[in-house]
Amino acid sequence: MREKLLNLKNQALAQIISAENPDELERLRAHYLGKKGVLNELAKDLPHLEPALRAEIGQLFNEIKTAISQAISSTPKVQNRTLVSFDLTVPGMKPPQGHLHPVTKAIEEISGIFEKIGFIRVRYPEVDWDWYAFETLNMPKGHPARDDWETFFIDAPEHPKLGKIVLTPHTSNGQVREMERLGRPPIRMVNIAKCYRRQSDVSHTVMFHQFEGLVVDENINITHLKGTIDYFVKQFFGPDRKSRLRPYHFQFTEPSFEVDVTCDVCLGKGCKLCKEGWLELGGAGMVHPNVLKAGKIDSDKYTGFAFGWGVERTYMMKSGLKIPDLRLLYSNDIRFLNQF
Ligand code: PHE
């Protein structure tokens, strides 16, 4: 009898521990402790035992009942555990999500801004003939102005007319290509592409991006250039930033300008981070008649303006974006890129 009872207790406790839900626990309670449960059935034999043994076994009965009911009354724990593991309202684990590179985002934003005023986004070769990168831009072979572009030349045979092959040092190679593609004005293009120059320091990377605007039509003048620049500056940098044109020289524009934007820190008042309140954006000007001629456009009838600015440099001039070294953009360091 004693052994039978102890076995029963062990069996009951084992079942309680491995019970998977509250219903099963209730079933075990009825099975062992209920009015018609196993223990009560066995207790019916008690009166038939010898008096001394009856007392001992009777006590054992009570101990076992208490043990089983205590085990079951730890039900709340089991209930919680059971509920949690089946809680359909607990949010799932999200897989890590990446994002576009800051330069890709800047390119998307820039093309979006120009598309709104009717510019067509185009893309021209990043490895191109000297003809498009220099010759047709009023920079004949040996012209000293070419030196400013610190160009990489490809070691390949020269074309009799188009010359050497270069890694494009600027997106201006798209100007005559776009004139050839359309055949005649109106032209309103924004060419965004990779460019390469032999230079590397905190504000230069060997590979970078430029966006080149070109507009050619009848009666295009400097006010159109200035209006377009102002529109872009307000859209990209915000309504409190201003632009100005500073006289400059390029072989392919006449007159030529450097475009400045008010500093995002002092907003034009002058501070340590800028030149008397201004930051330099890049070049612009009215398309030189020789360039129009190279693109077979009647330079008596049509005029145009062009500008070409670095995507990375322009992006860095956005308010509040203090990137100390442009090369970080291409270091592929996830700790840096995750901040954008
Ligand atoms: N291509 C010039 C540069 O790389 C910029 C420019 C483009 C200037 C168009 C005038 C007109 O610096």
Three-state secondary structure readout of the chain: CHHHHHHHHHHHHHHHHCCCCHHHHHHHHHHHHCCCCHHHHHHCCHHHCCHHHHHHHHHHHHHHHHHHHHHHHCHHHHHHHHHHHCCCCCCCCCCCCCCCCHHHHHHHHHHHHHHCCCCEEECCCCEEEHHHHCHHHCCCCCCHHHHHHCCEECCCCCECCCECEEECCCCCHHHHHHHHHHCCCCEEEEEEEEEECCCCECCECCEEEEEEEEEEECCCCHHHHHHHHHHHHHHHHCCCCCEEEEEEEECCEEEEEEEEEECCCCCCCCCCCCECCEEEEEEEEEECHHHHHHCCCCCCCCEEEEEEEEHHHHHHCCCCCCCCCHHHHHCCCHHHHCCC
75 falls in which pLDDT band (50, 70, 90)? low
Q: Rounded mean pLDDT of 40-46?
A: 86
Nearest alpha-carbon partner for 68 in 32, 18, 42: 32
Query: Annotated binding residues for Mg(2+), as ranges?
Result: 254
The angle subtended at Cα 298 by Cα 295 and Cα 299, nearest 5°, is 90
Residue 76 scores a pLDDT above 60: no
Find the range with the poorest average confidence among 8-12, 174-178, 249-253.
Answer: 8-12
CA of 283 to the centre of ligand 1 (A): 5
Cα separation, 322 vs 315, in Å, equals 10
What average pLDDT does this structure show over 36-50?
86
Beta carbon of 188 within 6 Å of any ligand 1 atom? no
Integer Rg of the chain from CA: 41
Whether the predicted pLDDT of 242 surpasses 60:
yes
Q: How crowded is residue 76: how many other Cβ atoms within 10 Å of its Cβ?
A: 9
The per-residue pLDDT for 85 is 66
* Residue 73: pLDDT band with limits 50, 70, 90: confident
pLDDT over 70 (residue 230): yes
The phi and psi torsions of 282 (rounded to 5 degrees) equal: 160, -170
| Residue 194 identity (one-letter amino acid) | K
Between 281 and 42, whose confidence is greater?
281
| Ligand 1 contact via 250 beta carbon (within 6 Å) | yes
Work out the pLDDT band at 323, boundaries 50, 70, 90. Answer: confident
Whether the CB of 284 sits within 6 Å of ligand 1: yes
What is the average pLDDT value for the chain, to the nearest integer?
91
| Domain coordinates in residue numbering, the chain | 2-78, 102-337
Q: How many CB atoms lie within 10 A of CB 9?
A: 19
Residue-level pLDDT at 259: 98
Closest-CA residue, ligand 1 atom 7, reads 308
**Residues pairing with 303 in the sheet:** 217
Site to probe by mutation for ligand 1, drawn from 172, 173, 198, 288 as the one with most ligand atoms within 8 Å of Cβ, is: 172
- At residue 84 the predicted structure's pLDDT band, cuts being 50, 70 and 90, is low
Q: Is the CB of 306 under 6 A from ligand 1?
A: yes
Residue type at position 7? N
The gap between the terminal CA atoms of the chain, to the nearest Å, is: 76
Are 209 and 312 in contact by the 8 Å Cβ rule? The answer is yes
> In the structure, what pLDDT confidence band is assigned to residue 111 with cuts at 50, 70 and 90?
very high
User: In the predicted model, what is the mean pLDDT of residues 190-195?
Assistant: 98
Q: How many CA atoms lie within 13 A of 325 on its CB side?
A: 8
pLDDT digits (tens, 9 = 90+) for 129-154: 999 999 999 999 999 999 899 999 99
Mean pLDDT computed over 292-308:
98
Q: What is the mean pLDDT of residues 101-121?
A: 97
Q: How confident is the model at residue 87 (pLDDT cuts 50, 70, 90)?
A: confident
- Is residue 77 over pLDDT 70? no
Ligand 1 center to 25 CA (angstroms): 81
Residue at token pair 């008690």: 46
| CB neighbour class for 304 (10 Å; exposed up to 12, middle 13-18, buried from 19) | buried
> Cα–Cα distance between 293 and 16 in angstroms, integer?
94
Q: Residue 204 is encoded by which pair of tokens? A: 């230069």
pTM of this prediction? 0.73
Q: Is the distance from the beta carbon of residue 310 to the nearest atom of ligand 1 less than 6 Å?
A: no
What integer is the mean pLDDT of 45-63?
Answer: 86
Is residue 65's pLDDT more than 70? yes
* CATH code for the domain defined by 102-337: 3.30.930.10
Ligand 1 in reach of 304 Cβ (< 6 A)? no
